[in-house]
Amino acid sequence: MPERRPFVRLPTDVYPVNYGLRLKPDLVDFTFEGKLEAAVEVTQGTNQIVMNCADIDIITASFVPDGGEEINATGFNYQNEDEKVTLCFPSTLQKGSGSLKIDFVGELNDKMKGFYRSKYSSSGEVRYAAVTQFEATDARRAFPCWDEPAIKATFDITLIVPKDRVALSNMNVVDRKPYAEDQSLVEVKFATTPIMSTYLVAFVIGEYDFVESQSSDGVTVRVYTPVGKAEQGKFALEVATKTLPFYKDYFSVPYPLPKIDLIAIADFAAGAMENWGLVTYRETALLIDPKNSCASSRQWVALVVGHELAHQWFGNLVTMEWWTHLWLNEGFASWIEYLCVDHCFPEYDIWTQFVSADYTRALDLDALDNSHPIEVDVGHPSEVDEIFDAISYSKGASVIRMLHNYIGDEDFRKGMNAYLLKFQHKNASTEDLWECLEQASGKPIAAVMNSWTKQMGFPIIVVDQEQHGSDRVLKISQKKFCASGPRNDEDCPNWMVPISICTSEDPSCTKTKILLDQPETTVNITNVAPDHWIKINPGTVGFYRIQYSSAMLESLLPGIRDLTLLPVDRLGLQNDLFSLARAGMISTVEVLKVMEAFVNEPNYTVWSDLSCNLGVLSSLLSHTDFHEDIQEFIRDLFTPIGMKLGWDSRTGEGHLDALLRGLVLGKLGKAGHKATLEEARRRFREHVEGKQILSADLRSPVYLTVLKHGDSTTLDTMLKLHKQADMQEEKNRIERVLGAIPAPDLIQRVLNFALSEEVRPQDTVSVIGGVAGSSKQGRKAAWKFVKDNWEELHNRYQGGFLISRLIKLTVDGFAIDKMAAEVKSFFESHHAPAAERTVQQCCENILLNAAWLKRDADDIHQYLLQRKTPPV
Ligand code: BES
Ligand code: ZN
């Protein structure tokens, strides 16, 4: 491995005040010309200026001191590795103000970063838009700049574009005039931005339609869609116009720009990007068609819009001082997006979904030895890319949720408001936020939170009880939770753990609260009848797992069957037990028995989490010869709810019923439930023949079912549907399930399809991932495919976070020791800097899977056999 030179931030002897930037993209040759005229401040005499710059050719550069003579730069020294350039001047630039002028050219690349081209077709013709994605460190690919979040400046942007194209940037247009040198072009000038970080600058040049509205606080909101699809922007427009006043009220700070545009970009690596005033989205994160979009897409759009708009304050107005504090941006936005969606769509019961989507995901990752603290030192761009992960997002959001609960909404808002006012148009660090919240609440916020953000991992809370008369005495202790099971660590870390406790008398109400700041403690709870149960962590808010004594656990389990435990607590309990089983702390058979207690479960999210864990177990058992027995278990568990729901929605049903039906039918179909398979095939046939089009919510489960039990004709039909699909949502829906096809030669066809022109580059990952996640054969084939096509894949994503996602989806499911060694050795010779930690995490997971299989497979097999034979 090459030794990394220590990373150094830019010198501060010259810094920008304003960027005057003119860009002229060529949508045919895929190049652009740029002119920068930056007002800079020289704080110390120097004869060189160091800036960030990558994949750009500087033609000329000069410096004009205010009221002085122009000095031409005599050399441009590119430090490609560091993505920097040093402009050398023949004489000293004196302390004071001046203007830095640089002419440069670059390429509109196809890597979905920097200033890049995005492909679309219009009336059968292939065309390109020019768009930007600068976070984290790619503004330097569009213009030479001081590309660090704390070096803020104002921007005056001018775009020179074909006159029939839409040109957008962060601010509103202030002038539009013909371009003197070419009649077919216009010069579009945008208003000066507020002082801001480079990673939030954006421009888009292309063909789009839009829908427009005003939010109640007077901001013009537009949603830009592909031509002819303006209707599909209406849902996001409604969410955005509701969300802006919600945040204005929550933060007590108005949105500071006159307009905000939300735009769907065809080729887009992330889900969405919060550029100030011009938020870019994948098409599937913004566009909703009333007929052809399913409930989960609607929910996704609402969450993403809520997330990116939150950044307009938290991130854009107040920005992290350095990428070490990225989690503050992403963790906070990933928390408040739920608050916002809960406000706009209470019927989504979105907070319960948070627990399944973010909280448990974060706990799983953070239990690994190869996790990392939320706050982590980063320098080189590849290290920055690496931390856009579930720790920054989901653990970040989870500890903020815990903190919000610990502080209470009123003081939390007070502190947030103080923070935003104090640091608006500036930069802040994690400590700054703690200080404001500490002031507002009078609680020891920094001390509590440092234990969660500066050390990795989380505790398992071990609880036992004794009844003393009418009192219940709890013994509570904490130790680090490790995915591989308990260890006897000498210097075991401690957390400051806010713990709330409830009893069966009122499962939704906290009876006692403590702050556990030592290894163990005793808590006395008065007036608890001996037959009442005690539950730790009601609402599943605290970021920890719980290990109850067997008596306490026994008393809680009936609360699953009779639904007296809250949905979120039924979910949390099941999820804790599942992860304890994986860590070898209880037997997997015990968890299977608990799962059987969920037969009467009505709640979508509880089912969804259970289903996900059963998916993990099913994937593990695909390494055995009794895989079919766990399918039978799944069928038996899901049949009653499937029968109850049926195939067709009834009047009065809502969002969650639609989600639940899709989940259950998909699960039954995949597990080979006969009646479901037959009905899925019948409905699929009618759909394909155009007799009865499948409702959007039934498409995924039906496609999955017919493919899982399908042949080459099924695959052909699906690929045809894919080709015909006009909406990216439908294409993605199909792409994600293609991997379910069982025959090896067809699996190969799906893999080749993943890299074909038919699949957008950002979606290739989910096609390959779908193959790997579907079967034992698929897993092997996908891994081989990734190895065989490594160069192309790596080149396509240039490091980036998509490569990490691809690796995880492809290898995480292996359960044989030697595969961990194989994966490790492959990535030793095929370097992916931004995925280093992911590779280590995957290898750790493979070993954990293998250990789990060795430990529990026989018992699971016995249990699955025994439950089939009726007792005599
Ligand atoms: N700031 C990110 C976009 C981003 C992600 C930039 C990765 C660079 C690298 C944006 O705010 C974001 O978090 N987007 C999420 C969607 C969100 C709803 C979780 C994404 O892209 O997945
Ligand atoms: Zn974000």
CB atoms within 10 A of CB 653: 13
**CA 618 – ligand 1 centroid, Å:** 31
Residue identifier of the C-alpha nearest atom 3 of ligand 1: 273
Using CA positions, which residue lies closest to atom 18 of ligand 1?
304
For the domain made up of 461-487+494-561, give the CATH fold: Immunoglobulin-like (2.60.40)
Confidence of residue 1 (pLDDT cuts 50, 70, 90): very low
Q: Is 58's C-beta closer than 6 angstroms to any atom of ligand 1?
A: no
Q: What is the pLDDT of residues 395-407, one digit of tens each?
A: 999 999 999 999 9
Q: How large is the average pLDDT for residues 668-679?
A: 98
Res 872 pLDDT > 90:
no
Q: How confident is the model at residue 488 (pLDDT cuts 50, 70, 90)?
A: confident
Q: Is 311 annotated as a binding residue?
A: yes
Q: Which of 197, 267, 327, 330 to mutate to test the pocket of ligand 1 (most atoms within 8 A of CB)?
A: 330
The predicted pLDDT at position 85 comes to 98
330 is in an annotated binding site: yes
Span 472-484, average pLDDT: 97
For residue 834, with 0-12 CB atoms within 10 Å meaning exposed, 13-18 middle and 19 or more buried, which class applies? buried
Q: Letter for the amino acid at 840?
A: Q
Write the CATH number of the domain with boundaries 318-453: 1.10.390.10
More confident residue, 200 or 122: 200
Closest ligand to the CA of 200: 1
Report pLDDT digits (tens) over 104-117. Answer: 999 999 999 999 99
Let me know if 308 is a catalytic residue.
yes
Distance from residue 89's CA to the centre of ligand 1 (Å): 40
Question: Is 730 close to ligand 1, i.e. is its CB under 6 Å away?
Answer: no
Residue 437 · residue 407 · CB < 8 Å: yes
Q: What is the pLDDT of residue 476?
A: 98
Q: In terms of Cα–Cα distance, which of 393, 396, 300 is closest to 348?
A: 300
DSSP string, 265-312: ESS-SSSEE--TTEEEEEGGGT---TTT--HHHHHHHHHHHHHHHHHT
- Please report which confidence band the pLDDT of residue 183 belongs to, taking 50, 70 and 90 as the band edges: very high
Question: Which position has the token pair 């970009």?
Answer: 265
The mean pLDDT value for 243-247 works out to 97
851 Cβ closer than 6 Å to some ligand 1 atom: no
Cα dihedral 755, 757, 758, 763 sign: positive
Chain-centre distance for alpha carbon 415: 26
- Strand, helix or coil for residue 316: coil
- Rounded to the nearest angstrom, the distance between the alpha carbon of 334 and the centre of ligand 2 is 7
User: What spacing in Å lies between the alpha carbon of 333 and ligand 1's midpoint?
Assistant: 10
pLDDT of res. 124: 84
pLDDT bin (cut points 50, 70, 90) of residue 462 is: very high
Fold of 1-206: Immunoglobulin-like (2.60.40)
Confidence of residue 5 (pLDDT cuts 50, 70, 90): low
| Annotated active-site residue in 308, 386, 601, 679 | 308
Tell how far the Cα of 322 is from the centroid of ligand 2, in angstroms: 15
For range 746-762, the mean pLDDT: 98
CA–CA distances in Å: residue 270 to residues 206, 319, 358, 634: 19, 20, 17, 34
What ranges do the domains of the chain cover? 1-206, 318-453, 461-487+494-561, 745-872
Could you tell me which of 236, 168, 179, 159 has the C-alpha nearest to residue 207? 168
* Chain segment 326-376, per-residue pLDDT in tens: 999 999 999 999 999 999 999 999 999 999 999 999 999 999 999 999 999
Share of the chain above pLDDT 70, in %: 99
pLDDT tens per residue, range 500-555: 999 999 888 888 999 999 999 999 999 999 999 999 999 999 999 999 999 999 99
- Looking from the CA of residue 334, the nearest atom of ligand 1 is 19
As a whole number of angstroms, the distance between CA 519 and CA 495 comes to: 9
AA letter at 360 = T
Tell whether residue 307 is among the known ligand binding residues. Answer: yes
Topology agreement, domain 1-206 and domain 461-487+494-561: yes
DSSP state of 4: P
* Residue 106, number of CB atoms within 10 A of its CB: 22
The SS3 assignment for 584 reads: coil
Decide whether any atom of ligand 1 lies within 6 Å of the 801 Cβ: yes
Residue from 239, 265, 267, 273 whose mutation best tests the ligand 1 pocket (most atoms within 8 A of CB)? 273
| CATH classification for the domain delimited by 745-872, as one of 3.30.70.270, 3.40.718.10, 1.25.50.20, 3.40.50.300 | 1.25.50.20
Is residue 330 within 6 Å of ligand 1 at its C-beta?
yes
Residue 331 CA to ligand 1 centre (angstroms): 11
Residue nearest to atom 1 of ligand 1 (CA): 273
Measured from the Cα of 270, ligand 1's closest atom is: 21
Q: State what percent of residues in the chain have pLDDT above 90.
A: 95
Ligand 1 centroid – CA 270 distance (Å): 6
Ligand 1 contact, 272 CB (< 6 A): yes
Choose the residue to mutate in 133, 197, 307, 358 for probing ligand 1, maximizing ligand atoms within 8 Å of C-beta: 307
Sign of the CA dihedral with 38 first, then 41, 47, and 53 last:
negative
Q: In the predicted model, is pLDDT for residue 6 greater than 90?
A: no
Structure tokens at 436: 């404001």
Cis peptide before 136 (omega within 30 of 0): yes
- Quote the mean pLDDT of the chain: 96
Mean pLDDT of 457-482: 97
- Buried/exposed 518-552: b ≥16 CB within 10 Å, e otherwise: eeeeebebeebeeeebbbbbbbbbbbbbbbbeeeb
Give residue 263's pLDDT band: very low, low, confident or very high (50, 70, 90). Answer: very high
Ligand 1, pocket-test mutation among 111, 131, 133, 135, most atoms within 8 A of CB = 135
Rounded-to-integer distance, Cα 180 and Cα 633, Å: 73
Q: Which residues contact 111 (CB under 8 A, 6 or more apart)?
A: 796, 797, 798
2 pLDDT more than 60: no
